[in-house]
């Protein structure tokens, strides 16, 4: 067969584009040119397709048991994968790896990826999270439509009836029983890695009795924790996960979709394989922590297939190493703690590793896809340095981001020999990578704003910017000679004076008549646009903030956000959704949550260079 040429995490064709909303990009971004990284799952899929493993597979147009699928036509999807988030929080960068992998593989091999909400834990789930997850997956560039245009958006709760029917069938076949031990007793009798488990006193309970108790559990006649349904497998198995795992537990909780209809809820290890089979999933791709669960995954599917409940071919589970990123915490429990305790300003705080936070900060979806592609897919755990994600952001933004100038720490520069009241236009490319975007124009005047760090009364060695007697170029303007400064009563420099050299204007024959070693950026004090700018940095100062027994809150970076009042180049189009490169400073975007037309607020997306690099 022919190997697909597209990449797992590459953007869908319709999702590529510029950093602005103005139209298609005129240059090729890094995502479009990156070589595919290693992905062992491709070899598995290609071997399955070559062997015709799914050639007899049927699809009735919706999920369901064997009897329903038997009525369907041959499955139009060559493979089916799924992304199955639990709606108990916002998606983060780790989820992005799974999203790109599952949706990307389905796309590349003529299949479909289902978005399935594993809503089996009602106490922690909420419709807010469902909506946020749908939004995040779409923003990342994927959807769940099949070739026929039908959407494959599903909820585990839609299968509760099937699961209950399957549980009854397992009981009748002698594969499950209702246990009355407490959770502590079950845990104690489970055994250890070197000692077998101990049979429950109710392991031999008659099927009719277990069926009746299961119905009472469903109907809410027993309190939480009093009864569980367990699979009857092997209490001496070397794999502890096969020592009669729990399938159902009693939970008197209101579900965000089913209300109070159910008083029992399935364990994930039981629901997961059943959901996959009902949806006709061919390749169930999980992270490595589920590897030890695979024997139970296979066991439960095999028993239900023997009972005629599930159609062949059955799904197969494959595991890959999850994304572990330095300077990041991805535990939903810890992220929720950050939100609830006010350490951040919500799930979409630009410092959060959530997709909502990264989107608000200004990370392009294409950069996240590129990062996921570059990190590859393997079965070996490793930790990826955060700088690789930032590099992907830069690589995506550099070719397409329009340029502008901003001054973040303003200091007034007065050109003492420049006529008062006069101004003249200066020009610069909108994007040096794309000459077709043309030039931008901004005025030069007698009084300018420059960065405070661009002046030193007593300069250190190799300092080539403004200091008394030194020459520097005002970028796109003139060469100027510093003549001195003005200080306040406390000795702080509040104004710098210089003289401009009229014959040295950029773009003229005399531009190179005077050689200088330093160039600084500036904006006209009269015409500059005021703006508030949030300078975001990494949320944690420790590369491994929650490793071992560390208190991750102690690793919070006190400098993760600084806010400054800045001056922007006049004429900048304050268009939401646009990301600019502010020359010499980095990439910046308008904050979607707080910016106003007459009071713009910007977020720093990323610096021009890695400020955390050693050395």
Catalytic residues: 86, 322, 332
Q: Kindly report whether the peptide bond that precedes residue 313 is cis, defined as omega within 30 degrees of 0.
A: yes
The number of angstroms, rounded, from the C-alpha of 11 to the middle of its chain's C-alpha atoms is 14
Inter-axis angle of helices 93-108 and 40-50, to 10 degrees?
A: 30
| CB 578 within 8 Å of CB 600 | no
Helix (H, G, I), strand (E, B), or coil: what is residue 441?
Answer: strand
| CB 413 within 8 Å of CB 496 | yes
Residue 5, CA distances (Å) to 8, 42, 277 in order: 10, 11, 29
C-alpha gyration radius of the chain: 31
Cα–Cα distance, 436 to 439 (Å, whole number): 9
Name residue, tokens 């959530």. Answer: 354
Query: Residue 441: beta bridge partners?
Result: 427
- Number of Cβ within 10 Å of residue 592's Cβ equals 16
Nearest CA to 127 out of 258, 222, 19, 235 is that of 258
Q: What does 207-258 look like in DSSP terms, one character per residue?
A: HHHHHHHHHHHHTT-S-TTS-EEEE-S-TT-SSGGGSS-EEEEE----BTTT
Helix (H, G, I), strand (E, B), or coil: what is residue 359?
Answer: helix
| CB 235 within 8 Å of CB 243 | yes
Q: Is 207 left (phi over 0), alpha (psi -120 to 50) or beta?
A: alpha
Q: What is the dihedral of CA 369, 371, 374, 379, to 10 degrees?
A: -90
Helix (H, G, I), strand (E, B), or coil: what is residue 120?
Answer: coil
Euclidean distance between the first and final Cα of the chain, in Å?
49
Q: What is the DSSP code (8-state) at residue 492?
A: -
E-strand spans in 529-611? 529-536, 561-568, 579-582, 586-590, 601-607
Helix (H, G, I), strand (E, B), or coil: what is residue 480?
Answer: strand
Cα–Cα distance, 487 to 494 (Å, whole number): 5
Name residue, tokens 């929080």. Answer: 89
Cα–Cα distance, 345 to 589 (Å, whole number): 18
CB crowding 122-151: b at 16 or more within 10 Å, else e: beebeeebbebbbebbebbbbbbebeeeee
Nearest CA to 317 out of 346, 344, 281 is that of 281
E-strand spans in 359-476? 383-384, 403-404, 406-407, 410-415, 423-429, 439-445, 447-451, 471-474
Q: What is the dihedral of CA 499, 501, 507, 510, to 10 degrees?
A: -160
Q: Which helix (H) or strand (E) holds 524?
A: strand 523-524
Cα–Cα distance, 123 to 114 (Å, whole number): 24
């Amino acid at each position: 067969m022919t190997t697909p040429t597209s990449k797992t995490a590459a953007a869908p064709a319709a999702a590529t584009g510029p950093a602005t909303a103005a139209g298609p990009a005129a240059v090729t971004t890094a995502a479009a040119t990156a070589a595919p990284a290693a992905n062992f799952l491709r070899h598995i899929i290609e071997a399955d397709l070559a062997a015709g493993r799914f050639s007899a597979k049927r699809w009735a147009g919706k999920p369901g048991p064997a009897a329903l699928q038997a009525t369907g036509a041959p499955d139009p999807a060559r493979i089916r994968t799924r992304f199955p988030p639990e709606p108990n929080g916002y998606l983060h960068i780790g989820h992005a790896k799974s999203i790109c992998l599952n949706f990307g593989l389905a796309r590349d091999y003529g299949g479909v990826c289902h978005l399935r909400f594993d809503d089996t834990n009602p106490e922690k789930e909420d419709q807010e999270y469902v909506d946020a997850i749908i939004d995040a997956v779409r923003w990342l560039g994927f959807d769940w439509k099949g070739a026929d245009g039908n959407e494959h958006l599903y909820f585990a709760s839609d299968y509760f009836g099937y699961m209950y029917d399957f549980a009854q069938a397992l009981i009748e076949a002698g594969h499950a029983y209702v246990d009355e031990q407490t959770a502590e007793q079950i845990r104690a009798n489970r055994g250890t890695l070197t000692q077998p488990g101990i049979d429950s006193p109710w392991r031999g309970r008659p099927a009719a009795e277990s069926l009746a108790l299961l119905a009472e559990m469903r109907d809410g006649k027993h309190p939480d924790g009093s009864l569980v349904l367990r699979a009857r497998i092997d209490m001496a198995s070397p794999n502890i996960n096969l020592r009669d795992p729990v399938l159902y537990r009693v939970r008197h909780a209101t579900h965000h979709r089913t209300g109070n209809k159910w008083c029992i809820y399935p364990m994930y290890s039981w629901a997961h394989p059943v959901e996959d089979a009902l949806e006709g999933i061919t390749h169930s791709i999980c992270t490595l922590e589920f590897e030890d669960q695979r024997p139970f995954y296979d066991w439960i599917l095999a028993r239900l297939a023997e009972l005629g409940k599930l159609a062949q071919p059955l799904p197969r589970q494959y595991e890959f190493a999850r994304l572990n990123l330095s300077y990041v915490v991805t535990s939903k429990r810890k992220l929720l703690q950050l939100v609830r305790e006010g350490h951040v300003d919500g799930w979409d705080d630009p410092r959060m590793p959530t997709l909502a936070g990264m989107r608000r900060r200004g990370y392009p979806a294409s950069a996240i896809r590129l990062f996921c592609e570059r990190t590859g897919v393997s079965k070996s755990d490793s930790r990826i340095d955060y700088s690789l994600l930032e590099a992907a952001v830069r690589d995506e933004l550099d070719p397409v981001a329009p340029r502008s100038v901003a001054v973040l720490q303003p200091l007034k520069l007065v050109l003492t020999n420049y006529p008062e009241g006069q101004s003249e236009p200066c020009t610069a490319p909108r994007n040096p990578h794309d000459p077709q975007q043309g030039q931008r124009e901004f005025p030069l005047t007698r009084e300018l704003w420059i960065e405070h760090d661009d002046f030193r009364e007593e300069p250190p060695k190799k300092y080539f910017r403004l200091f008394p007697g030194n020459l520097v170029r005002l970028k796109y303007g003139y060469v100027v000679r510093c003549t001195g400064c003005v200080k306040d009563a406390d000795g702080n420099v509040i104004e710098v004076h210089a003289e401009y050299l009229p014959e040295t204007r950029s773009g003229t024959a005399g531009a190179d008549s005077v050689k200088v070693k330093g160039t600084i950026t500036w904006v006209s004090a009269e015409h500059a646009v005021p703006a508030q700018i949030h300078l975001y940095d990494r949320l944690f100062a420790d590369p491994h903030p929650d490793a071992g027994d560390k208190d991750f809150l102690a690793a919070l970076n006190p400098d993760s956000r600084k806010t400054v009042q800045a001056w922007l180049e006049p004429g900048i189009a304050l268009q939401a959704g646009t990301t600019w490169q502010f020359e010499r400073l980095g990439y910046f975007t308008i904050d979607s949550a707080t910016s106003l037309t007459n009071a713009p607020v910007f977020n720093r997306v990323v610096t021009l260079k890695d400020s955390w690099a050693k050395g």
